[in-house]
């Protein structure tokens, strides 16, 4: 079909507004290096801004917590900011501030603990000094008192995040329901079992997982490649770990053969509905198709947004997302009900939208617009160096790989993915309902 006149005009206007410089830095080449101690290092040059971001991902996620130690990965992440032998206790953030850091963070997800900081380009050596010192010498400054205090902070963090709504625990509920007992993702993040956790437990966890051969370092931004490599070798090459690393195998992939559902009753402010489907790994083309379908179902202007939120006002919030795990993903569609709105109607609306999408995804979604929206949103989210470094350290891939998967996706790929992954018989449905008692209940049905 030839493009309409309006579309041609739109393209002309867009081209005329674009700047003279034609080479916009959407992606850049990534150079990889592995040090003798096993540390993987990835470099991505980008000279648009005089800044550099450093990120390290350790294979030290929630799935690595031993039985009965829920929260230990999160506690260790907090303690990583305590200051190491040469940096000094309490001096980590102080040193980052002196270096002019404009962003820093530590995050733990099911598969990894990821740290990053963005500093002026002139402070790259400080960022590497800080990261290498806590990789090599964190345990020298920790003591019982520090661990006890940080346990309290983590417990307060949990209370604060769950204060307004049990909604915050939905990922834990989904993983509890989808993954069988004994699976590394079963009930991930649901238990905070830090009472009685001692310094020696943190020491064990750190020695087992915070090792150069279990980490990826990414550097993104304005640096001279040879200088950056020299600095990396200077600070990291001599780092050695105590003992041997734990054997870390990829968790088994889980699929559902029949619909599974649960009703969770709790004293929540807002009720909600969550649908979740097991999906493919990040590198599978199907993952890009699911990204498109997430935009299609819950992006701004979608039929579902208008039916439930904008016009219908029965839901406060509608989201669809792909939750990426090590070797599979979960496609999650969730609606948070408005105050005093029953969720049965919301569930029915979600049901019919997914059925409509599945029956004719090309017509329902408008693939070109959804692809453009997904691409633009992803590029926007990766424009700052810190975000790109974190993505690179965590996935080991440039954002170009993900963009390429999105670009090359055919309508047949999307249709196949909708049928393959979003079937009712492959999904989990969770109703989150209010009850006055403070004691929660959990009713499960299905296979």
Partner 1 sequence: MTSGHASRPILVLLLALAGMGCSGRADLPPPIVPLSPTENAAFRSSPPLISPPPTPTFPDVHAFALENGLCGYVVPLRGSPIVGVRYVTRRLRDADVNTTELADAAARLVVEPRVRRPFGLFYLVSNAGVVFSSDTTAEHLAGVLRTLRISLVSQKFDAEDFPGTRDLLRRWLRGLNTNAAFRANAESWRALFGPEYPLAATADERASRIERWTSAGFDDAFGRIFGPRDSAIVIAGDVDVDAAESAIRKEFGTWKDSGERPPQEIPTGAHRGKPVRVFDMPWNQVVVDAAALAPREGSKDQVPFQLLSYILAGSLDSRLAHALRESSGHGYTVRGHYDAVAGAWMFTTSVDPFAVQESVEALESELTRLLRDAPSPDELERARTESLEGLAARLEAPDTLATSLAELYMIGRGPERWAELDRLIRSATSADVARVARRYFGESRAIVTVVGPMSTIAAQLQWSKYPVEYVAGD
Sites for partner 1 among residues 154-183 (CB under 8 A): 154-160, 162-164, 166, 169, 172-173, 176, 181
Q: Residue 31 gets which letter from DSSP? A: E
Q: Which of 33, 238, 355, 404 binds partner 1 (CB under 8 A)?
A: 238
Residue among 245, 239, 242, 241 nearest 86 (CA): 239
Which residues inside 86-125 make contact with partner 1, applying CB under 8 A?
86-87, 90, 93-95, 97-102, 118, 120, 122-123, 125
Nearby residues of 158 by Cβ (< 8 Å), 6 or more positions away = 71, 192
**Using CB under 8 A, which of 133, 282, 291, 334 touches partner 1?**
133
Contact present, 319 and 259 (Cβ < 8 Å): no
Segment near partner 1 (CB under 8 A); pick from 8-16, 107-115, 352-360, 416-424 = 8-16
**SS3 of 437, please?**
coil
Residue placing its CB nearer to partner 1 in the complex, 2 or 182: 182
Nearer to partner 1, 194 or 256 (CB): 194
Taking residue 85's Cβ as centre, other Cβ atoms within 10 Å add up to: 14
Distance CA 289, CA 56 (A): 29
Distance of closest approach, residue 281 Cβ to partner 1, in angstroms: 25
Among 42, 53, 136, 417, binds partner 1 (CB under 8 A): 136
- Specify the stretch interacting with partner 1 by CB under 8 A; choose among 56-64, 142-150, 276-284, 348-356: 142-150
Residue list 35-74, contact with partner 1 (CB under 8 A):
48-51, 66-70
**215 contacts partner 1 (rule: CB under 8 A):** no
Q: Is 14 one of the binding residues for partner 1 (CB under 8 A)?
A: yes
Instruction: Give the C-alpha separation, 187 to 171, whole Å.
Output: 8
Q: Which is nearer to partner 1, 193 or 253 (CB)?
A: 193
Contact residue for partner 1 among 38, 106, 285, 312 (CB under 8 A): 312
Least distance in angstroms from the C-beta of 302 to partner 1: 6
Task: Note whether 153 binds partner 1 by CB under 8 A.
Answer: yes
Q: Which residues within the stretch 395-434 sit at the binding site for partner 1 (CB under 8 A)?
A: none
Q: What H or E segment, with its residue span, contains residue 204?
A: helix 199-209
Of the candidates 243, 244, 171, 208, the residue with the CA atom closest to the CA atom of residue 59: 208
The tokens describing 156, both together, are 């307060």
What DSSP string describes 212-281?
Answer: GGGEEEEEEES--HHHHHHHHHHHHTT---SS-PPP-PPPPP---SS-EEEEEEE--SS-EEEEEEEE--
Which residues have CB under 8 Å from 187's CB, separation 6+? 172, 175, 176, 179
Stretch of residues binding partner 1 (CB under 8 A), selected from 20-28, 272-280, 349-357, 390-398: 20-28
Q: How far is the CB of 280 from partner 1 (least distance, A)?
A: 25
Residue from 5, 339, 412, 447 touching partner 1 (CB under 8 A): that is: 339
Q: Taking the complex as a whole, how short is the minimal distance between the CB of residue 8 and partner 1, in angstroms? A: 13
For residue 217, give the nearest of 87, 128, 97, 120 by alpha carbon: 128
């Amino acid at each position: 079909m030839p493009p309409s006149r309006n579309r041609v005009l739109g393209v002309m206007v867009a081209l005329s507004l674009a700047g003279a410089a034609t080479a916009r830095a959407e992606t850049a080449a990534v150079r990889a290096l592995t040090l003798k101690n096993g540390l993987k290092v990835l470099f991505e040059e980008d000279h648009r801004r005089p800044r550099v971001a450093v990120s390290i991902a350790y294979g030290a996620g929630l799935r690595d917590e031993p039985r009965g130690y829920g929260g230990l990965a999160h506690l260790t992440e907090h303690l990583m900011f305590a200051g190491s032998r040469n940096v000094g206790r309490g001096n980590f953030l102080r040193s980052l501030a002196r270096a002019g850091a404009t962003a820093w963070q530590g995050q733990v997800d099911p598969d990894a603990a990821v740290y990053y900081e963005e500093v002026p380009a002139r402070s790259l050596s400080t960022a590497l000094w800080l990261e290498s010192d806590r990789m090599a010498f964190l345990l020298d400054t920790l003591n019982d008192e520090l661990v006890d205090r940080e346990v309290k902070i983590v417990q307060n963090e949990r209370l604060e995040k769950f204060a307004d709504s049990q909604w915050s625990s939905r990922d834990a509920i989904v993983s509890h329901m989808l993954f069988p007992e004994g699976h590394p993702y079963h009930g991930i993040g649901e238990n905070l079992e830090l009472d009685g956790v001692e310094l020696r437990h943190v020491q064990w966890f750190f020695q087992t997982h915070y090792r150069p051969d279990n980490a990826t370092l990414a550097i993104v931004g304005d640096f001279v490649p040879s200088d950056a490599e020299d600095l990396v070798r200077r600070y990291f090459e001599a780092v050695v770990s105590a003992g041997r690393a734990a054997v870390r195998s990829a968790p088994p992939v889980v699929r559902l053969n029949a619909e599974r559902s649960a009703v969770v009753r709790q004293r929540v402010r807002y009720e909600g509905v969550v649908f979740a489907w097991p999906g493919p790994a990040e590198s599978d083309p199907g993952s890009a198709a699911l990204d498109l379908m997430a935009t299609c179902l819950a992006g701004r202007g979608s039929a579902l947004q208008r039916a439930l939120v904008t016009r219908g006002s029965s839901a406060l919030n509608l989201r669809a997302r792909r939750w990426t795990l090590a070797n599979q993903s979960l496609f999650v569609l969730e609606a948070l009900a408005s105050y005093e709105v029953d969720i049965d109607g919301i569930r029915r609306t979600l049901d019919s939208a997914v059925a409509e999408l599945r029956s004719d995804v090309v017509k329902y979604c408008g693939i070109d617009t959804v692809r453009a929206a997904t691409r633009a949103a992803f590029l926007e989210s990766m424009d700052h160096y810190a975000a790109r470094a974190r993505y690179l350290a965590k996935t080991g891939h440039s954002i170009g790989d993900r963009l390429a998967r999105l670009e090359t996706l055919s309508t047949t790929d999307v249709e196949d993915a909708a049928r393959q992954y979003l079937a009712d018989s492959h999904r989990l449905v969770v109703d989150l309902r209010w009850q006055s008692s403070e004691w929660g209940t959990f009713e499960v049905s299905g296979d």
